[in-house]
Amino acid sequence: MQGEAWRKRQQWIESVTGLREADAITEADRTLLFSEYDDMQRAVRERIEADAPEFGRRVRDDGREAAETWMRERVHALGVERGQRLRRVLSELSFADQLELDRRQ
């Protein structure tokens, strides 16, 4: 799993670096995008670690299926939260006025 996370991060770095090298984004944009990716990964890792004891208790008390349903709901909520944050981050990029972002918040 760690190898997969590293591979995905490398792909992200290559994509963002390519945008910077093509002058499609500024250095500040590149830094912001790298930071947001790392923050997202950290948030997921912290959520999993924080929820592990509760997940284990739910498996014991309610069964694996119920515990997995609970975990999916938690992960979905995190995804919604991070999606809203990503919209805000994208609006800060130097070319944000050229993006067609969903303005509903």
Q: Is the pTM of this model over 0.85?
A: no
Q: What is the pLDDT of residue 40?
A: 86
User: Nearest CA to 44 among 15, 1, 7, 87?
Assistant: 1
> With 60 as the cut, is the pLDDT of residue 77 above it?
yes
> With 90 as the cut, is the pLDDT of residue 101 above it?
no
Percentage of residues of the chain with pLDDT beyond 70 = 89
**pLDDT tens, position by position, 5-52:** 788 889 988 988 888 888 888 898 889 988 988 898 888 889 989 999
Tokens of 64: 């694996």
